[in-house]
Amino acid sequence: MLQPAPAVPGMPEDEIDTPALILDLDAFEHNLAAMRDLLAPFPKVKLRAHTKTHKSAVVAHLQGRHGAIGQCTQKVGEAEALAWGGVSDILVSNEVVGRSKLARLASLARIAEVGLCADDIAHITAAEAVAEAAGIRLKMLVEIEVGSQRCGVSPGEPAVELAKRIAASRHLRFGGLQAYHGRAQHISRWADRKVAIAGTAEVTRRTVDQLRQHGLDCQIVGGAGSGSFLLEAGSGTFTEVQAGSYVFMDSDYGAIEGPDGAKALPFRQSLFVLATVISAARPGIAVLDAGHKAVPLGWGLPRVVGMPDVKVTSHSDEHGNLAIEGSTRRPAVGEKLRLLPPHCDPTVDRYDWYVGVRGGRVECVWPIAARGAMH
C-alpha cells in the first residue's frame, strides 16, 4: 500500500512525521548545477542520469532541466514510472529477462525512446520475438565487461558478434555499448580510479573501433557512475555518463577523493532520514524510531547530523540506539534528529515520498513513484 505523505508544504521541519526521507533542496539544486557545470567542458558527452538512485520522474525532469538528455534504469518498472511521468528517453542499462518484462518495455516504446542491454544471444532472440509481436523496433545495446565482474560479454570479438546479430534483426536496432565499471566507483584514491577507468576506456575504444570496421556505429557508448564520470567523460570514447548518486550523495561517496587533489567529490549531501527519539529511559542511551527498515544495513550505521559525539550503536528492525554517554546534548523524547544514510540508493527505495526542505520549512512533497519497482 502507498504510505501517506509525512508532511505538508509550509510545515516546519520538526513537525514532519518520522521516519521521513528529507531532501535538502539547497544542496540538491547545488548538485544538479554542479553536474551540469562539470560536464560543460565535454560537449560531446551527455548525462543520462540513473533512476535507480532517485526512483522519481520529478527528479528526472529536474535533471533534464540541468542538461541530462535522459535517464537510465535497472528495471522495467523504473522505466514505466519514468515514461508514465513524461520522461522521453530511457535506457534500461541492464539485461531484461522474462517475456512479460520485455512486453512491458516494448509497450513503452510507443510513448518514449527506450532501449535495453544484452550480453547473450538469448537476450537478443527474446527481445526480437517480443518486438516483432508488438510491431515495434527495440533499441538494444551490447553490455561489455569492463571490470565489474558481473554482467557483460567480453569486449572485442564476442561483443561484435552480438552487435552484428542485433543489427541483422528487422525488429531490433543496434544502439551501441554499455560499459559500466561499478567496482571503480568507490575506489577511494582518485589516481587509482583513474588507472581503473583508463583500462575500461581502452577496451571500450577498441571495441567501438572493431564495430566500426563492421559498419556498426555506436549511437551510445555509456557507463560511469558518480565516482568516475569525469574520467569517462574525458576519455574521448564515452558519449554518455550514467551517474546517479551525485544528486543525493551519501557517506560512502562522501568519503572518496575528488578529482586530482580535491578532498571530496564536488557534491553536497542532500539526502537525510529524519527520526524521532522515542525513548530515553536507559542511562546513556536514546532510542530512535528508525531502525534498519528506515536506513538499510550493509554500509555501516548512519551518523547523526550535527552531533559528532553521539553514535548510532545498533539498529534493530524498528529501533536505532544512540550512545549519548559522552555527549553534551542529551536528546529528549520527542526530539527530531537528521541521520546521514551510508548508501542513498537502498535508503530511497524504502520511502514513498521525498520531503523537500529549505530554511527549516517543508517546500515540497514528491512521490517516489518507482519505490519498490524491482520487476
117-146 binders of a second copy (CB under 8 A): 119-120, 122-123, 145
Q: Which of 70, 115, 147, 152 binds a second copy (CB under 8 A)?
A: 152
* Cβ atoms 320, 291 nearer than 8 A: yes
Shortest spacing between CB 97 and a second copy, in angstroms = 5
Q: What is the largest CA-CA distance in the chain?
A: 72
Q: Which of 298, 306, 359, 360 binds a second copy (CB under 8 A)?
A: 298
Segment interacting with a second copy, rule: CB under 8 A, options 27-35, 167-175, 193-201, 310-318 = 310-318
Residue 369 in contact with a second copy, rule: CB under 8 A: yes
Instruction: Report the relative pairing of strands 89-95 and 285-288 from DSSP bridges.
Output: unpaired
Segment interacting with a second copy, rule: CB under 8 A, options 187-195, 216-224, 258-266, 286-294 = 286-294
Q: Which of 65, 215, 317, 359 binds a second copy (CB under 8 A)?
A: 317
3-state secondary structure (DSSP) of residue 140: strand
Shortest spacing between CB 59 and a second copy, in angstroms = 15
Q: From residue 19, how far is each of 58, 65, 118, 172 by CA, in Å?
A: 21, 30, 39, 45
Cα(336)–Cα(270) distance, integer angstroms: 17
Residue 262 in contact with a second copy, rule: CB under 8 A: no
Residue 52 in contact with a second copy, rule: CB under 8 A: yes
Quote the radius of gyration of the chain (alpha carbons, Å): 22
Q: Which residues contact 316 (CB under 8 A, 6 or more apart)?
A: 291, 292
Residue 321 in contact with a second copy, rule: CB under 8 A: yes
Contacts with a second copy, 217-256, as mask; x by CB under 8 A: ----------------------------------------
Contact positions with a second copy (CB under 8 A) in 161-200: 182
Segment interacting with a second copy, rule: CB under 8 A, options 131-139, 219-227, 232-240, 341-349 = 341-349
Q: Which of 346, 358, 363, 364 binds a second copy (CB under 8 A)?
A: 346
Contact positions with a second copy (CB under 8 A) in 74-103: 74-75, 77, 81, 94-98, 100-101
Residue 334 in contact with a second copy, rule: CB under 8 A: yes
Q: Which residue, 289, 371, 299, 285, is CA-closest to 340?
A: 299
The total of other beta-carbon atoms located within 10 Å of residue 99's CB is 11
Q: Find the Cα–Cα–Cα–Cα dihedral 356, 262, 148, 196, rounded to 10°.
A: 160
3-state secondary structure (DSSP) of residue 271: strand
> Which CB sits closer to a second copy, 36 or 186?
186
> Which CB sits closer to a second copy, 137 or 293?
293
The amino acid present at 48, given as its one-letter code, is R
Q: Which of 23, 62, 124, 287 binds a second copy (CB under 8 A)?
A: 287
Helices within 17-138 (DSSP H only): 25-39, 51-54, 57-65, 76-84, 99-108, 121-134
Q: Which residue, 293, 258, 97, is CA-closest to 187?
A: 258
Total number of residues that touch a second copy (CB under 8 A) = 71
> Which CB sits closer to a second copy, 111 or 191?
111
Shortest spacing between CB 368 and a second copy, in angstroms = 8
Instruction: Report the relative pairing of strands 220-223 and 172-178 from DSSP bridges.
Output: parallel
Cα(209)–Cα(204) distance, integer angstroms: 9
Contact positions with a second copy (CB under 8 A) in 21-50: none
> Which CB sits closer to a second copy, 33 or 316?
316
The amino acid present at 356, given as its one-letter code, is G
Residue 345 in contact with a second copy, rule: CB under 8 A: yes
* Cβ atoms 254, 264 nearer than 8 A: yes
Residue 106 in contact with a second copy, rule: CB under 8 A: no
Q: Which residue, 193, 192, 255, is CA-closest to 229?
A: 193
